[in-house]
Structure formats: C-alpha cells, structure tokens
A and B are shown apart, each in its own frame.
Chain A
Amino acid sequence: MRKNLFNVGALVRGMSTTFSYMFKKKPTVEYPSVKKQHAPRFHGLHELRRYADGKERCIGCELCAIACPANAITVIGAENSPEDRRSPGERFAARYEIDELRCIFCGLCEEACPTDAIVLTPRFEMADYRRGAFVYAKDRLLVPPEAGVGTPPDERPNGIPADLGGVFRAKDTVDIAEGYDATHRGHILKTQRRGLTLRQAKGDDGRPGEIE
C-alpha cells in the first residue's frame, strides 16, 4: 500500500504528458467546416475526363473493367454516329458505371485506361442513405464539357492522342494544395456550394434524383 504511494511520481509524469498537449496545436480538424490536406497520391471518387474540345476521353474499351480487382466497373460500348460523336474514334461508352461500394480505391482502372479517361480524384465524401446511390453512372462521373483537357486524337496523324500514357501529367491538373475542390468536378461543386445551391433534384418519379 505504502509502496504504491511512491508511484505518484509516475502518475504526475504521465499526466504532465497529457496536460502538455492541452497547450499544443490540436491535430483534430473541425470537419466538415475545416478540411485536411490529403496525401499527394490519395485515391478517392472517380471522374471521367474529357478532351479540351468537349469529347469524352472514354472510348468504352472496358480495359478498366477487366483490370478492376473488385469487379466494380461495368462498361457497355457502342458505335459513334457521325451526327452525334461522343468520343474520338469509332467507339464510346454507352453505359459506364462504377459501384463505389465495391471499389477498393486501388487505382488500377486509372492505370489501365489508355486515354486517361478514368481518374481517381481526392474527393471522398460519398455518404448516402441509399445503396443505389453508390452506383455512379456517367451522369455523375463525367466532367462538364468545359472542363476538358488535352487534344483529342483524331486531330493528329493516325489518331494517337498527344498525352497517351501520361496518366501522371493528367493528374498534375489536380491541385493537391487545394484538396479535392481543385478537380474540375470539385470546382463546379464548390461554386455551387458557395451559393448554397447544393440541392437534391427531384426525379420525374418524385424520388430524389442525382445530386448535382
């Protein structure tokens, strides 16, 4: 019993560590009003890129789908028509879906993509009450037409894109310092949020539609 009293010293030492932190800068951030800088190679929600002229980069080749270890991607290709050209070349993705609940954010899809169409952004806020809402289709993955980068391949001899294979260069356009908001899609969201326009559109059937 007596012997234990001598341990007060240890107690004090321990508590002093605790108290010393009270005067240090707190690592906790006030999420969501404050957001933390991600690691440079953070893998978050996907987006589908476009070329500068607004054409979709995705050619519906399904290489991402076969590369995906989680079987999270579904692509169904179709043929471009001269009247409605979605992508350079003959083929485009008529349907492109990623089940973000299955996705393990490994980034293999990004690596497999021959046209840098699918890119993982640092955006991570996807919480929802509906399971179905995690299946992201083209309407939510594709960046708006004005957010395209790069020269589409069919303006070049033999249709080889200028930045083919430049996944890292394409990622450079993501400004890490600005966090997820710096991606094209994030940029749009930020503008919308500033004016408090984050709205939940109602679909035709009265159910909540996609978040825009």
Chain B
Amino acid sequence: MSAAVPQTDPASHAELVTLSIDGVEVRVPKGTLLVEAAKTIHTDIPVYCYHEKLGPAGLCRICLVEIDGMPKLQIACNTVVADGMKVHTRNPRVDDGRRAILEFFLLNHPLDCPICDKGGECDLQDYAMAWGSGSSRMIDPKTSKPKAVDLGPTIVLDEERCIVCQRCVRFDQIITREESLRTEDRAVQTIIATATGKPYVSDFTGNVTELCPVGALTSKTYRFRSRPWDNHRTTTSCTQCSVGCRMHVDERGNTVLRTMSVPEDDALSDSWLCDRGRYNVGFVNDERRLTMPLLKQDGAWVQIDWADALDLWAEKIKAALAAGGPERIGAIGGGRLLNEEALLAAHLHRALGVENLDHRIGTQTLVHHGSFANHVDLENANTIITLGRPPSQLAPVLDLRIRKAVSRNGARLISAGDYAADSFVPETHVTTPAGLKDAIGANPGRVAMIWDGVFFEGGPELTAAMHDLPAATRVDRYVLPETPNGRGAEALGMIPRGAGLGTGAMFAAARDGKLDVLSILGANPVLRYPDRALAEDGLRATPFVVVTDLFLTETAEFANLVLPVCSAFEKSGTTTDLAGDVLPVVGSVRPPDGVLADGDLLVELAERLGVTLPMPDELEAKVRELVKTPPADGAVPAYVRATAAAPGGALRVIADAAIFTGGGTLAFDTAIRELHARPHARINPATARALALADGDPVNVAGDNGTTLYDLVVRVDERVAEGAVALLDGVVRAPLNALGRAPAVRLEKVPVTA
C-alpha cells in the first residue's frame, strides 16, 4: 500500500481497515459493522432488526452475506469488518439464504397488504419482491393472532403482521429508557405486549410506527386515511416546541395527514419526533378555524372585510399616537411566529416609537442567555444539571439526548430545586446548595445546564452553588423558551428596551387605563400568563385589543378585533431553535380562503401607517445576523423568585408542565383528544397521608383568591416536596393561572356519590 493512503480515520482517529465488498475495495474505521461499511459504497444490505440508531440484534437474519473463508453465511449487521475480508452481498448462495429466510417470514404472514397501512412503503413487501418465491409451500392453515389490538391512546398493533424484529422493544429500552414494551410467548406465538399489561403510554410512541419495518404498528391518527403514493411530502421544521426537529409533512388534498421524522437529522431530532410534534396536526384542518376578521360590536362578533379590519387597526394606532404617544400602545407575542414576522412586528412598532413589546408570557427571563451550544454538545456533557420544569415536558426530543448522555455516555444527571428531571435514567435530585455542591463534586468535567426560564424557588444560594465550578470548566447553558420561537422573537426585538414595559407591566398599565391599543400576535396570555385575573383585567380595560390567532382562544374572547392567520403549515420562513440556530419552515398546505399570514398583516398595517419595513430579500440576512448576536449584557440571570411560605395547612403550588397542554393548536385538535393531559395534583406521600388522599382520587383545588379548580386527579409522587402540590399549567379546563401568582391552595376530596 502506498504511503499516501491514510492509516487512520481523520474524524475519529480510529485505525482504518481495508476489505472488499463485491469486489470493491472499501476502507473504513476499525470496528465498523459490515452493513455500515457496505453503505459507503452504496451497496444496500437488507435489514429488519438492525437500525442505525438501535444497533444490531441479530434476530431476523435477512442480512446474510457470504464471507470468503467462513463456512456459513454470516449476518452483516453484527459482523465487524476485518482487514482483508472478502464479502459477497449478491451471489446465488446469498440469494438462496435470503429466499429461505423470507419464506419463513411469510409462512404465517397474513399478506393483507391491500388493507395494511404500510403497503407501499413496507420492507417486507420490498424484500419479498426481491427474494420472495411468489407462492408458499405451506399447506397448513396460517397461525391466527389478534388484529387491531389497541395498544394505547396512539398505537394499534396487528400481531399477525409482526415479524418480531424487536425494533419497537429496543427503542423503548435503548432510546426512551421507558421499557414499556416487551415480547411475550415463544416461536410463532411470539407477540408484542406492554410490560405492565396497561396501555402503551409514552411521549414518543409514534416513533415505533416508523421503526416497524412492516405494518404491525400503526398510528391511530393515520390509519387507513391514505396511501404513500397519494401523499405529497414537504420537509420543514416542527414548530411545536423550541427544539425544532426536522420533519416531513405528508399532505393529501390540502389536508395534513401525518408527519414523519427525518432519519438524516442527527443534529436536532436524532431522527425521533415526540408525539406532540407528530400527532398535533389535526388543528390545521379543524372546522373551527377562523376565516374572516371578527369585530366585536355590542358584545357580539360581526364578520368584517380584511380592508376594513386593517383600516380600523391602523386608525386606532394613529389615534393613540396622536392622543397620548407611543407609550399608550403595546404588543405581546412573537414566540409563535416566524423569525421574519417577529422582526417585522418589532420593526413596525419601534418605527412608531413603541417600546412596550414582549414575547414572554409565562417566564420573565431572557432566553438569550442560553449559549450557542448545540444538541450534540449536550450528548457529550459529563454533568447535566436541570433547573425548573423537566425538559422532557418542554423540549421532549432534547430530553432523549439527556437520556443518551446518561445511559450511554456515562454523564451524571442532577436536578436542582423543586423538580425532578423525570428522564427515566438515574438522577440525583437536590434541593439545597450544599447538596448541589456535593452532587457536582470537584471534577464535573463538561457541564450542561438546562433551565426552563422560570425563576425558581430556592434563592440565590442554589444558583451560586451551581456556578461555583472549577475555573476551566466548559459550561453550556440551555434556556428553554416557553414558545417555539421564543429565542428568535427575543433576538429580533420582541422585548422591551429602555422604558418599555414587559407583558405583566403592560397588563398592569392597561388595567390603570394607560394603554389604548394592545396587539396580541399569536399568543394566549389569558391561559398562560401566571396571573389570569390581571391579564383579564388588563385586556378588559384596554379600549382596543387586536388578537391574531387561528381560533377563538381564551384571549381572543377579550379582543375587539380578531384576525384569522395561517398556521406554520401554511407559510414559509424561518424559526430559531433553543440553541440559536435558524431553521427553515416550509409550508405544505394552502391556508383556508381569506386567511393571511401574520407577516402579511404587518406589511399591510405598515403601509397604512406609512412605515417602511425591511424588504423580503433583506430579511433573511437580518434575521441571521440578529439571532447570532450574543446578548449585550452577557450576565447570567439570578434564577430567583421570592418564596412565599404557604400559611398553615395550605400547600405551596409548583407549576407542572406537560407536553399535551395548551389552548390553541392542542385544544382545537379533536383527533388527539385522548392525549390531552388530564389535570393532576401531584403530592408527596407524606402530604397524601396527612390529607387522607390516595393516588387516583379526584380532588378540587381551592386557591386563596377564592378560585377553585374542579376535578383534578391526585398523583402521589415522592419527588414532590412535602407541603407542596404540583399542578399542571396551561390546561383549559383547570387553568392554574386562575389561582393567581404564588398561591397557597387547599385540596378538597371530591365526595364520591354512589
């Protein structure tokens, strides 16, 4: 071999080995599996049980290849390359082997392809076309197994179609670590079942339908609705949370049918999607979508023309400017808009001198304080500290990285404060600064801190302890914005500067009659602002409130003018993820007739107000520049909130988060009603004993402001501190913010009537 040929892989510095596959010389790092080596020369070896992200299992044996010098055919998925190996992936002997394996698979397979959702994109169909014999030699009746088994709220299982590759089982073991699926029984009777016998519940269930190489696992929301050849595919970024997973959107007849993960997306989603991103698409075609501007006249909604609506909006702004100046105008929102729209909103208002701008509803801090560390960096951290609500509920796919870092890369997970990280991996939960210091230890290695942006109980001491690290420590900070594009909205100017007011201050000013026009752009503060009464009072006292939304949400009910707008599936632009990267959003369906995007509205409004906005071709560069600018002050916020000790007998409230909460896209998606989070009250076992409550009991929660939330379910959980109760935030039926800020509550058991 000539000296010019490198002996090590430049990326991993692993030693290289040379082998030949079908006569082609291949050089790959030592330790590479044969299937992966074959991919480098675009030779596809068929696989069922092997998956890049799950590793080999050696169960299905479809990947047979011939290796010179080995007496029998070998499985390519679990054979490591060796120097000088000569591999044949297609020859009569290999084909014979695969034919025999396929015959076994098809012995009891129902062959109901015509009614199978996987038909058209099924590996069994494809390989049967390549190696199947066309007819079966079996004369006995096939084994019958249950079909259409309801596995849980999202998944249906067809036991007959399962080829027991165990990808689903291994996904739940290796990736989510939840271990909820397993195989039962043996040989031809083997079936997939949940480990507990209870429904298959997880926040990542949809992934198993994609992993399943056959049509055994299907999604309830997609069952029988289409065929792969009917669907038009667009690739976009998920806009349900700030992770921004890349995803495919399959559309048919202007209806969004399903979303699929993008296997190549190693940087963000690691090829997974959470169930919120995957299943919360039904709202796009919901019949309750608004299609005409609505004006409130004498307490009733009247449909008006777009031109009139925009004229009215512009007029009110002009009048406010003339009467009291820009301080009497405010705008809230932007975190659910595209970057470009957020930029236009901020630009438009600043051009008028308006400084009362804020994208933050439930949090008070600057998401900008996150560093630009990406998701792969998180995977390589040695110590991960979570502060605040668990990332699994705020940025679910990011949490899979935490699980990966801990379970496979040996990182330590520490959760500090009121919340446990709930990541299905070992974690240390600390509440005191000393405990945190102990947990971090002397040699934390690379540290990643994940914070949900809400000031948490525990005082500055905990924060100080967290930042008291050896000097050379690399610290990556991840601040999870409350909205999908919170980081973008903030970087692009939707935050108050100078004397400008934030969301809470705007509501207070409005209540005192100091605001004339309040524009709420794609936000729902009535459900999400921590003090619902203040938000409602503020909105009621403002003479003119404009709300842009898809639906008549809780906030829109308080508006004078509601403008219907496009969903993220109906417009194109960019969004910013929590790591500060600009991601493309590509529209896949047409909006309903008469519906405009927020950006279009802002352009129209600007024209009426005589403001010049940046041109579309300048927007992208501007967005990229602003998003990548680190915050001017550079300081790390103090993560502090004053702790109000609850008076005797009452419980302190901790705000819980769950994936399936919210008032807009979720509340108006009837297809996944079963997934909507049931409001709960999580309490410590000691608290439960003291109150004589048991897990599953229905309770009412009475706040100290006279508001009661009805019919919550008790969950006993030792991770909640004694004397506290964790209540779900953002549930339409039992809104936590109705209890007011920092409330103290009492739990009342609902009497069960016979």
Using a CB–CB distance below 8 Å, which chain A residues touch chain B?
59-63, 65-66, 76-79, 89-91, 114-115, 157-159
B144 and A158 form a contact (CB under 8 A): yes
Map CB proximity to A onto B222-249 as digits: 1 under 8 Å, 0 otherwise. Answer: 0111110110000000000000000000
29 contacts across the A-B interface (CB closer than 8 A): A59-B114, A59-B115, A60-B115, A60-B224, A61-B119, A62-B229, A62-B230, A65-B227, A65-B230, A66-B227, A66-B229, A76-B225, A76-B226, A77-B224, A77-B225, A78-B224, A78-B225, A79-B223, A89-B112, A89-B115, A90-B147, A90-B148, A115-B114, A157-B141, A157-B144, A158-B141, A158-B142, A158-B144, A159-B112
Does residue B435 face the partner (Cβ distance < 8 Å to A)? no
A79 to B224, CA, bound (A): 6
Looking at B115, B225, B227, which has the most chain A CB atoms within 10 Å of its CB?
B115
A91 and B224 form a contact (CB under 8 A): yes
A62 and B227 form a contact (CB under 8 A): yes
Map CB proximity to A onto B114-144 as digits: 1 under 8 Å, 0 otherwise. Answer: 1100010000000000000000000001101
A123 to B226, CA, bound (A): 31
A158 to B107, CA, bound (A): 12
- Chain A neighbourhood of B144, CB < 8 A: 157-158
B223 and A114 form a contact (CB under 8 A): no
A158 to B142, CA, bound (A): 7
- Chain B neighbourhood of A89, CB < 8 A: 112, 115
- Per the 8 Å Cβ criterion, residues 140-159 of B in contact with A are 141-142, 144, 147-148
Looking at A59, A78, A157, A158, which has the most chain B CB atoms within 10 Å of its CB?
A158
- Chain A neighbourhood of B112, CB < 8 A: 89, 159
A50 to B226, CA, bound (A): 23
Using a CB–CB distance below 8 Å, which chain B residues touch chain A?
110, 112, 114-115, 119, 141-142, 144, 147-148, 223-227, 229-230
B115 and A91 form a contact (CB under 8 A): yes
- Chain B neighbourhood of A115, CB < 8 A: 114
CB B510 to nearest CB in A, in angstroms, measures 49
Smallest Cβ-Cβ distance to B143: which chain A residue = A158
Q: A65-B230, A77-B225 are in contact. List 16 more A-B contacts (CB 8 A).
A: A60-B115, A60-B224, A61-B114, A61-B115, A62-B229, A62-B230, A63-B114, A65-B227, A77-B224, A79-B224, A90-B147, A115-B114, A157-B141, A157-B142, A157-B144, A159-B112
- Chain B neighbourhood of A59, CB < 8 A: 114-115
- Chain A neighbourhood of B223, CB < 8 A: 79
CB A75 to nearest CB in B, in angstroms, measures 9
A114 and B114 form a contact (CB under 8 A): yes
Known A-B contacts A157-B144, A158-B141; the reply to A90 vs B110 at CB < 8 A is no
A91 to B141, CA, bound (A): 23
- Chain A neighbourhood of B147, CB < 8 A: 90
- Top 10 A-B residue pairs of the complex, sorted by shortest distance between their CB atoms: A61-B114, A91-B115, A77-B224, A62-B227, A91-B224, A157-B141, A114-B114, A158-B142, A79-B224, A89-B115
- Chain B neighbourhood of A79, CB < 8 A: 223-224
CB B83 to nearest CB in A, in angstroms, measures 48
Smallest Cβ-Cβ distance to A79: which chain B residue = B224
CB A68 to nearest CB in B, in angstroms, measures 12
- Chain B neighbourhood of A63, CB < 8 A: 114
Looking at A60, A65, A90, which has the most chain B CB atoms within 10 Å of its CB?
A90
A66 to B119, CA, bound (A): 12
A191 to B226, CA, bound (A): 39
Known A-B contacts A157-B144, A158-B141, A158-B142; the reply to A90 vs B227 at CB < 8 A is no
CB B160 to nearest CB in A, in angstroms, measures 8
Q: Is the interface of A mostly helix, strand, loop or mixed?
A: mixed
- Chain B neighbourhood of A157, CB < 8 A: 141-142, 144
CB B221 to nearest CB in A, in angstroms, measures 12
- Chain A neighbourhood of B224, CB < 8 A: 60, 77-79, 90-91
CB A74 to nearest CB in B, in angstroms, measures 9
- Chain B neighbourhood of A61, CB < 8 A: 114-115, 119
Smallest Cβ-Cβ distance to A88: which chain B residue = B115
- Chain B neighbourhood of A77, CB < 8 A: 224-226
CB A167 to nearest CB in B, in angstroms, measures 15
- Chain A neighbourhood of B142, CB < 8 A: 157-158
- Chain A neighbourhood of B225, CB < 8 A: 76-78
Smallest Cβ-Cβ distance to A91: which chain B residue = B115
- Chain A neighbourhood of B230, CB < 8 A: 62, 65
Smallest Cβ-Cβ distance to A62: which chain B residue = B227
CB B674 to nearest CB in A, in angstroms, measures 16
A91 to B148, CA, bound (A): 11
- Chain B neighbourhood of A78, CB < 8 A: 224-225
B110 and A159 form a contact (CB under 8 A): yes
- Chain B neighbourhood of A66, CB < 8 A: 227, 229
Smallest Cβ-Cβ distance to B141: which chain A residue = A157
Smallest Cβ-Cβ distance to A93: which chain B residue = B224
CB A203 to nearest CB in B, in angstroms, measures 23
Looking at A78, A91, A115, A157, which has the most chain B CB atoms within 10 Å of its CB?
A91
A114 to B227, CA, bound (A): 16
CB B214 to nearest CB in A, in angstroms, measures 16
A159 to B113, CA, bound (A): 13
CB A135 to nearest CB in B, in angstroms, measures 15
Smallest Cβ-Cβ distance to B158: which chain A residue = A90
Smallest Cβ-Cβ distance to A115: which chain B residue = B114
CB B205 to nearest CB in A, in angstroms, measures 19
- Chain A neighbourhood of B227, CB < 8 A: 62, 65-66
B114 and A90 form a contact (CB under 8 A): no
- Chain A neighbourhood of B114, CB < 8 A: 59, 61, 63, 114-115
CB B123 to nearest CB in A, in angstroms, measures 19
Smallest Cβ-Cβ distance to A114: which chain B residue = B114
CB A63 to nearest CB in B, in angstroms, measures 6
CB A49 to nearest CB in B, in angstroms, measures 15
CB A178 to nearest CB in B, in angstroms, measures 32
A62 to B228, CA, bound (A): 11
Looking at B110, B114, B141, B226, which has the most chain A CB atoms within 10 Å of its CB?
B114
- Chain B neighbourhood of A158, CB < 8 A: 110, 141-142, 144
A159 to B144, CA, bound (A): 10
- Chain B neighbourhood of A159, CB < 8 A: 110, 112
CB B4 to nearest CB in A, in angstroms, measures 52
